[in-house]
Structures are given as structure tokens and as C-alpha cells.
Amino acid sequence: MIQFHIITIFPELFGAGSYADHSLLKRAQENGKISIQAHDLRTWGEGIHRKVDDIPYGGGPGMVLSVEPIYKAVQAITKDTTKKSRVVLFSTRGKKFDTQDAERLAQYEIIIFICGRYEGVDERVAEHIADEELSIGDFVLMGGELPALTVLEATSRFVPGVLGTQESLESIKGSYPSYTRPETFTSEKGEEWKVPDVLLSGHHKEIEKWRTENA
């Protein structure tokens, strides 16, 4: 079982009715394969307003998430546990996430995602708190919540029992075009879109060859 912990200022994005509360991720939680818990960073914020950000040294626009509340959040999650854990910070400067990373992360028992916002996160989080920085692509989002869901889902696929059968993994079955009924679909323009004949042939060796060629 993997425990996913998400540190964010928008924990409601992962609550009841959210993406994480549907389909295979929901079933995986119900079956005890994974757990998903979002932590409101403001719980460890400063003062009556639970402040978690401040203006950047050196000037510039926007606000930067402070190191102290993030440090306290990670400490609170990892205290009194001997489980194998990994702390991930999402950053535009991070390593580009891929399938190998997902398979590697699936070996941990606790994964903590730090979701940035505003103009970023105090660099001391990357230097002293996070075990690694990841990026999901060469583009900029408004925060780390969508990357957290992306990495969470991709990693969960490597947890035995989450997909039902491990044969569903692309690394096992391969990635190739798929078709289902009807054999011929007619569009409004009268165009006929047909399933490739080989898939209807029943010749398994030819089907396997076609899938390999089109993977």
C-alpha cells in the first residue's frame, strides 16, 4: 500500500467528489491499495491568518511560499514512522516525469507531494526538504495540484491490484490502436470508418504482428 500525502493550499481539490474520488483511484482506496490525504498547508501557517507566503527577497512580482510551514507539514507527516518515504516537489526546473519514475516511486510506502503556488516555493525547500523535483512537461501551470494528480495516478498503476490485472500495463501488453463494435461506423457525411480486417480475422499471430507494427 502507498500512502499519498499532498501538501497544498487547496485541499478541497482532492476531497469528496474530486478526481481522486472517482473510478479506479476510488476503488484502489476502498480496496486498501493506496490512500490519498490532502493536507492544508495553512494548518502550519503563521498568525491568526495562518500566513504561508511572503514577498520575495530581491524584489519582483507575486508571493513565494515560505519554507517554515512546508518544513512543519513534512515533519508532521513523517514523524513516528519507519516506512520508506519520498518527498517530491513539483517545479518547472525539475526532472521531466516519465514511466520509469512512476515505477520507481511505486516502491515507496509514503510519498509526499509539495504543491507550489503563486511565484513559487522558497528554494530551501528544494535544497533541504524535498528528495527530488519533478516536472510533468515544458509548460507552466498555476500550481502543483494537477502534477500531483498526474504523478499519483501514473504511480498507482504500478501498485498490484489497482488495475485489476497487471496485464493492463502498457509495459506488458504494449501500446497499440484499439477498436470495438461496430465493425463499420458511418458518419453524417456518409463516410465509412472500418475496423482493420486483421483484427476481425481471428488469426492471433497476425493480430499480434499488426499490434507490434502499430505500437
The domain spans of the chain are 2-166, 176-213
Q: Which amino acid is at 116?
A: G
Pick the CATH number of 2-166 from 3.40.1280.10, 2.10.60.10, 1.10.1060.10, 3.40.50.2300: 3.40.1280.10
Confirm if 90 and 114 have CB atoms less than 8 A apart: yes
Confirm if 132 and 88 have CB atoms less than 8 A apart: yes
Model pLDDT, residue 175: 85
Residue 164 reports pLDDT greater than 80: no
Q: Of residues 131 and 166, which shows the higher confidence score?
A: 131
Residue 171 reports pLDDT greater than 80: no
Alpha carbon distance 181, 184 (integer Å): 8
Query: What is the pLDDT averaged over residues 131-159?
Result: 97
Peptide bond into 182 cis (omega under 30): yes
The least confident of 8-17, 31-40, 101-110, 169-178 is: 169-178
Residue 79 reports pLDDT greater than 70: yes
Query: What is the pLDDT averaged over residues 100-110?
Result: 98
Q: Can you name the residues that pair with 121 across neighbouring β-strands?
A: 65
Own/partner long-range contacts of 166-175 (Cβ < 8 Å, ≥24 apart)? 170/99, 171/99, 171/103, 174/211, 174/212, 174/215, 175/215
Residue 173 reports pLDDT greater than 80: no
Return phi, psi of residue 197, to 5°: -55, -35
